[in-house]
Each structure stands twice: as structure tokens, then as C-alpha cells.
Amino acid sequence: MRNLIAEKLDEGSISSRDLASLTKRLADMSAEIEAIDKASNGHDPAMQALDTEDIRLDEHED
């Protein structure tokens, strides 16, 4: 889907309305794929680490 959008943009043959709908669909599919990947890798420590938010370290704290 990304390649299709990129090709259409390069050609200049895509309307704004079509671009918006393709981009929305791409975002939806990316979210679905990410959810599937997370579910299948739920016990993988590396995947869990990627989902962990970073914490801010206080540089002045000793």
C-alpha cells in the first residue's frame, strides 16, 4: 500500500480526496498489523522492552 501511494504521488495522478482515503487506510492497516505483531510476540522480552515507555532521568540527582 505504501508503494502504491508513493507511485501515485510520483506520477502526480492522484487527487487529494483519493490520497486522503489511501493514507487513512494505510494508517488503519499499520495499526492492525502492529496489534497482531504485539499479540503474537507478547512473551518476547525484546518486544516488551520496545513497548515500555522511557523515563526521564534527573541529571541533577545524585
25 within domain boundaries: yes
**Better-scored residue on pLDDT, 25 or 52:** 25
The pLDDT, as a whole number, for residue 62 is: 55
Tell if the pTM clears 0.85, that is, is over it: no
**Better-scored residue on pLDDT, 27 or 2:** 27
Per-residue pLDDT averaged across 36-60, rounded? 75
34 within domain boundaries: yes
Q: How far apart are CA 60 and CA 13, in angstroms?
A: 55
61 within domain boundaries: no
Q: Is the dihedral of CA 7, 9, 11, 14 positive or negative?
A: positive
27 within domain boundaries: yes
**Better-scored residue on pLDDT, 29 or 50:** 29
4 within domain boundaries: no
Domain that residue 33 falls in: 14-42
Number of domains in the chain: 1
Q: Residue 13 is placed in which grid cell?
A: 495522478
29 within domain boundaries: yes
The answer on pLDDT for 61 being more than 70 is no
The pLDDT, as a whole number, for residue 2 is: 74
18 within domain boundaries: yes
